[in-house]
Chain A
Amino acid sequence: MNILVCIKQVPNTQEISIDPETNTLIREGVESIVNPYDGYALEAAARLKDKNKDIRICALCMGPPQAEAALRECLSTSADVAYLASDKFFAGSDSLATSYILSEAIKKIESLEGIKFDMIFCGKQAIDGDTAQVGPQIAECLDYPQITYGLTCEVKDGELHVLKETEDGKEILAVNFPCVVTFTKPNFEPRLASAKRKFAAKKMEIQRIGVADLNGIDRAKIGLKGSPTQVRKTYVPQVKKGGTVFRDGPPGEAAAKLAKLLVDNTVVKDIE
Chain B
Amino acid sequence: MAYNQVTTEIIAMMEKVVPGRVVVGNDVNPDYSRDEMPIYGTRMPAVSIDVLTTEEVSQIMKICYEHSIPVTTRGAGTGLVGGAVPVLGGVVLCTARMTKIISWDLEQFGVVVQPGVLIQDLKGAALQHGLSYPPDPGQKLGTIGGNVSTNAGGMRAIKYGTTKDYVRGMTVVLSDGEILDIGANVAKTSMGYNLTQLFTGSEGTLGIITELKLKLIKAPKFDVSVIAPFEDLDTALRCVPGIFTNTFRPTAVEFFEREILLLSEKFVGKEVWPKEVEGKQVQAYLLLIFDGDSMDEIEPHTERITDFLLEAGAMDVMIVDTPGQKKEIWDVRSAFLDCIFETHKLFDENDVVVPINRIAEFVQFFSKEADKYDFDITYLGHAGDGNLHIFGVSDDMEEAEFKRQIHLWMVAMYDRAKEMGGELTGEHGIGYGKIPYFEKYVGPRNIELHKGIKRVFDPKLILNPGKVCFRLEDLVNS
Residues of A within 8 A of B (CB): 12, 31, 33-34, 36, 73, 76, 187-189, 191-196, 198-199
- Other CB < 8 Å A-B pairs besides A33-B322, A195-B226, A199-B306, 17 of them? A33-B324, A36-B324, A73-B322, A187-B271, A188-B271, A188-B272, A189-B271, A192-B274, A192-B320, A193-B320, A194-B316, A194-B317, A194-B318, A195-B303, A195-B318, A196-B316, A198-B319
Please give, as numbers and ranges, the residues of chain A lying within 8 Å of B129 by CB-CB distance: none
CA distance A97 to B226 in the complex (A): 40
Can you list 16 contacts pairing A with B, beta carbon distance less than 8 Å?
A33-B323, A34-B322, A73-B322, A188-B271, A188-B272, A189-B325, A192-B272, A193-B318, A193-B319, A193-B320, A194-B316, A194-B317, A194-B318, A195-B317, A196-B317, A199-B306
* From A73, A189, A195, A199, contact of B272 by CB (8 A): A189
- Given the interface pairs A192-B227, A196-B317, the reply to whether A12 lies near B323 with Cβ below 8 Å is yes
Residue from B270, B325, B329 having most chain A Cβ neighbours under 10 A: B325
Complex CA–CA separation, A188 to B227 (angstroms): 18
Number of A-B residue pairs having CB atoms within 8 Å of each other in the complex: 48
Q: CB < 8 Å: which of B271, B306, B324 contacts A195?
A: B306
A198 and chain B: residue at smallest CB distance: B319
Interface assignment of B181: CB less than 8 Å from any CB of chain A: no
Q: B279's closest neighbor in chain A, by CB? A: A50
Q: Is B302 an interface residue (CB 8 A)?
A: yes
Residue numbers in B under 8 Å from A36 (CB-CB) = 324
Interface size class of chain B, counting residues whose CB lies under 8 Å from the partner chain = 20 to 34
Closest residue of chain B to A202, judged by CB?
A: B299
The smallest beta-carbon distance between B230 and chain A, in angstroms, is 15
Q: How far is the CB of B358 from chain A (nearest CB, A)?
A: 28
B318 proximity list for chain A (CB < 8 A): 192-195
Question: Whose C-beta in chain A lies nearest to the C-beta of B269?
Answer: A187
Residue of B nearest to A39 (CB): B324
Complex alpha-carbon distance, A192 and B310, angstroms: 16
Query: Smallest distance from the beta carbon of A250 to chain B beta carbons, Å?
Result: 15
**Bound Cα distance A248, B42 (Å):** 26
Q: From the candidates A73, A189, A194, name the one contacting B270 in the complex (CB within 8 A).
A: A189
Interface string of B290-322 (1 = CB under 8 A from A): 000000000000110010001000001111101
Say how far A31's CB is from chain B's closest CB, in angstroms.
Answer: 7
Return chain B residues, CB-CB under 8 Å to A73. 322
B-chain residues with CB within 8 Å of residue A12 when the two chains form the complex = 323-324
Closest A-chain residue to B227, C-beta based? A192
Q: How distant is the Cα of A199 from the Cα of B321 in the complex, in angstroms?
A: 13
Within 8 A of A (CB), among B394-439: none
Interface centre among A33, A188, A195 (most CB of B within 10 A): A195
B328 interface hit (Cβ, 8 Å)? yes
Name the A residues within 8 Å of B310 (CB-CB): 196
Residues of the B chain whose Cβ atoms lie less than 8 Å from the Cβ of A33: 322-324
Query: With the chains together, A31 CA to B327 CA distance in Å?
Result: 15
Residues of B contacting A195 in the complex (Cβ-Cβ under 8 angstroms): 226, 302-303, 306, 316-319
List residues of chain A with CB within 8 A of the CB of B323. Answer: 12, 31, 33
Bound together, the chains give a CA A198 to CA B317 distance in angstroms of 10
How far apart sit A146 and B269, CA to CA, in the bound complex (Å)?
Answer: 31
Best-surrounded residue of A33, A73, A193 (most CB of chain B within 10 A): A193
A198: chain B residues within 8 A (beta carbon) = 319
Q: In the complex, how many angstroms separate the beta carbon of A39 from the nearest chain B beta carbon? A: 9
| The residue from B274, B303, B306, B324 contacting A191, defined by CB atoms under 8 A apart | B274
A24 to B309, CA, bound (A): 45
